[in-house]
Structure 1
Amino acid sequence: MSETKITVIYDNPTDPEAFESAYPADQLEAARKVPGYVRFEASKVWPKEDGSPTPAYRMVDWYFADYDAASAAVTTPEFGAFFQAMGALSTGGVRVLFSDVEVPQQ
């Protein structure tokens, strides 16, 4: 089995300032507490040069050894706490993906 990645894609929030003020404590700290990941990344989408809306706002990625480990992580209280906070913070929408990592980091 190959690595599995769980990605959270936050769409553009209705109030970016409010999102940014809550994000470090409400999402990053909760994301770091999710058990079982091999690697964790958080990123912010660069703004478009013409000022038009970007297709997404921020992303959180957890990498797990395999699908079973990722599936187990989402059943934990820690992931539940992250998910609950994510729902409250994601005023512009949010997507959650499970992906098969075809070319892992070396």
Structure 2
Amino acid sequence: MTTKITLVVDNPADPDAFERAWPELVAVARTLPALQRLESAKVWPKEDGTPTPAHRTLDLYFDSYDDASAAVATAAAGDFFGRLGATRTGFTGLFSDVEA
């Protein structure tokens, strides 16, 4: 069954700097072994001008939980998470079993 890793990226202190770094982060994420598909999304601004609950999401799809778990233990994942950490922007990571 397909496993998805979702990263919910918090609102950065400097959105413009984060957006400049994002394409390279996505490119590094694409190097994760056994990655089947990747979806990057930017959260819409709220109409009332209040802060969004998050800035971006990144969904990484793998054929199995074992493949996803193995991928996050690789040097490519270390590079990705190191670069994400360098943006000084928090995130939440979720492993999910895709049902539909």
Unaligned runs of 5+ in 2: none
Moved over 6 A (4+): none
Scaled by the length of structure 1, the TM-score of the pair is 0.89
Q: How does 1:90-101 map to 2 (within 5 A)?
A: 90-91=88-89, 93-101=90-98
Deviation at 1:90, TM superposition (A): 3.9
Query: Identity of aligned pairs, percent?
Result: 56
- Residue in 2 aligned with 1:21? 20
How many residue pairs align between the two structures? 100
Structure-2 change in CA distance of 1:29 and 1:19 (3 Å)? same
RMSD across aligned C-alpha pairs, in angstroms? 1.0
Distance in 1 (alpha carbons) for counterparts of 2:11 and 2:18: 10
Q: What is the rounded CA distance, in whole Å, between the counterparts of 1:14 and 1:32 in structure 2? A: 25
Residues 4-52 of structure 1, C-alpha deviation per residue, up to 9 Å, x if partnerless?
1011111100111111111112x11111111101111101001111111
Task: State the TM-score, normalizing by the size of structure 2.
Answer: 0.94
Structure-2 separation of matches of 1:45 and 1:16: 12
Query: Hey, what does 2:37 align to over in structure 1?
Result: 39
